[in-house]
Amino acid sequence: MTNTARSIQNRIESILANWGTSSNGLPDEATWDALAQCAKDQPVTLVNFFKMRDSASYPSGTAMVEDRISGQDAFQRYAAVSIPSVEQAGGKFLMVAPFACTFIGPTEDWDLVAIGSYPNPGTLLSLFEMDAYREAYIHRVAACRDQRVSLCLG
């Protein structure tokens, strides 16, 4: 393992210590490993597909569990923090738009697509190292009935 991969791996281990390994909607170990193996200056892009719940589903024991809001409203709480956090980390959104339809391939049903670009793996990790982003992530989990996030290199 190169020094860069080791440094990225150390940051990932720290993120998992703060976030927990069983948090809903986080990358699995293989995905974190793939990110750790990227070159230090490798641009990375995340293509996010979201399907919202009719009603947000917050975990029991949290203050938000009493909130009776839609999944869309919960996602807006997340977006209010995540959009500036991505930019603060050094990334940028290339697109955030409603999903129209599947153009080629099996028909899929999503509500929203967001494409975020980061100049390197370290920038993406910076997002997960932000306390405000971690605290807002509960709204994303409560909002989404389903999600798919693809990691693209370049």
111 assigned to some structural domain = yes
Domain count, the chain: 1
- The 3-class secondary structure across the chain, one letter per residue, is CCHHHHHHHHHHHHHHHHHCCCCCCCCCHHHHHHHHCCCCCCCEEEEEEEEECCECCCCCCCHHHHCCCEHHHHHHHHHHHHHHHHHHHCCEEEEEEECCCCCCCCCCCCCEEEEEEECCHHHHHHHHCCHHHHHHHHHHHHHEEEEEEEEEEC
pLDDT reported for residue 85? 97
81 assigned to some structural domain = yes
Condensed to tens digits (0 to 9), the pLDDT of residues 6-62 reads 688 889 888 888 887 656 678 888 888 889 889 889 999 999 999 999 999 998 877
110 assigned to some structural domain = yes
pLDDT reported for residue 5? 58
27 assigned to some structural domain = no
The CATH number of the domain where 98 resides is what?
A: 3.30.70.100
3 assigned to some structural domain = no
Q: Which domain holds residue 54?
A: 39-153
8 assigned to some structural domain = no
19 assigned to some structural domain = no
11 assigned to some structural domain = no
- pTM for the predicted model, two decimal places: 0.88
